[in-house]
Amino acid sequence: MAAALPSAYAAKNKTKFVPGKDLTLIGKVMPTPDRYARVDTVKYDGFTDYQRRSLNQESSGLALVFKTNSDRVEVNFDYKKRHHAYNGTDVASAGADLYIKRDGKWVYAGSGVPSAKGEPVALVSAMAPGEKECLLYMPLRSIIDEVYVGISPDATITPMENPFKHKIVFWGSSFTHGVSANRSGMAYPLQLQRATGLDIRSLGVSGNSKLQQSYARVLADSDADAFVFDAFSNPQAPEIRENFNDFVKTIRAKHPVTPIIFQQTIYRGSRNFNTDNDQKEAAKMAAAEEMVRKAMETDPNIYIVYPAADTDGSTCTDKTHPSDMGYYNWMESIRQPILDILAKYNMK
């Protein structure tokens, strides 16, 4: 679906559009032939058709950073596939999420999704004069060919250097992907990025993080300074025991001492009264604890942390996924433990 950028719209609204290719893109685990894809599925094999054609192409975790003195910011996308989610908002699945730095902090500025007719959406307007540093997150679930940033016609817009430091590669389930967040920047790795200044490279693969060798090879080839894995939310207990050691072995072949921080899977609201789910989730957590603790006996650079997104069901969206508040709780629960681990490696 091509973005609607007719000259008539630009003239009527007095808007100048700049393609994302002229701005700085951050958040990628590694370069890919398609700018807004996350995995080069030609170079790497072993993926299912769904993973290759759709999941790995989604733009979750990616963002543009730029400076502008415009009094407004608009956005439009060239969609290859526009996603609609039953358990999330269109703003998160197909829209943009904008933050602007103020007093050293990234502050929410606006979010929105282009219309079904392909018309741009205004994220923020009537801003005070002056240059702004902007952080614009891409859609969580859609596949895009290009993004266009709209500014006032007499304004300037320039790419800026990546404002974040230390390459921390996250990989994991729909939780890491950000499913059920209200907007794309509320995925817990991206909340952590803004809260800490860490250069988070987030590869969420909804429903498909099962300690597979296909993803292990991709992660091993990254230039990560540290890894953080939500690796136990999708596989069942037998899969965890079967796949864990080989997954770690593949990464360790190229990252012999890089810290690997595993996250225990979170408590899901579906466990409260469904005894089958409760037993499966308890077994999964026990297997994860067993395998990580055993690995830690011989590998001093493996760690485990314990996220807490929801304790009573109040932040659960669909029996499984947290709301924005749940993802905030998750981020807060792992922030200091992760910072403490990274500090051991002079990442401060």
Q: Is 101 helix (H, G, I), strand (E, B) or coil?
A: strand
- Which residue would you say has higher pLDDT here, 59 or 8? 59
> Which pLDDT belongs to residue 229?
99
pLDDT at 2 over 50: no
Q: Cα(105)–Cα(99) distance, rounded to whole angstroms? A: 9
β-strand pairing of 226-230 with 260-263: parallel
β-strand pairing of 157-159 with 198-204: unpaired
Amino acid at 216: A
Cα within 13 Å of Cα(59), Cβ side: 33
β-strand pairing of 73-81 with 143-151: antiparallel
Contact at 8 Å (CB) between 165 and 200?
A: no
Tens digit of each residue's pLDDT (9 = 90 or more) over 217-250: 999 999 999 999 999 999 999 999 999 999 999 9
Contact at 8 Å (CB) between 295 and 285?
A: no
Tell me the mean pLDDT in the region 250-279: 96
Tell me the mean pLDDT in the region 98-127: 97
pTM of the predicted model, to two decimals?
0.95
* CATH numbers and ranges of domains, the chain: 7-27+62-159 (2.60.120.260), 165-343 (3.40.50.1110)
Tens digit of each residue's pLDDT (9 = 90 or more) over 154-188: 999 999 999 999 999 999 999 999 999 999 999 99
Tens digit of each residue's pLDDT (9 = 90 or more) over 297-316: 999 999 999 999 877 778 88
To which H or E segment does residue 222 belong?
Answer: none
| Numbers of helices and strands, H then E, in the chain | 9, 15
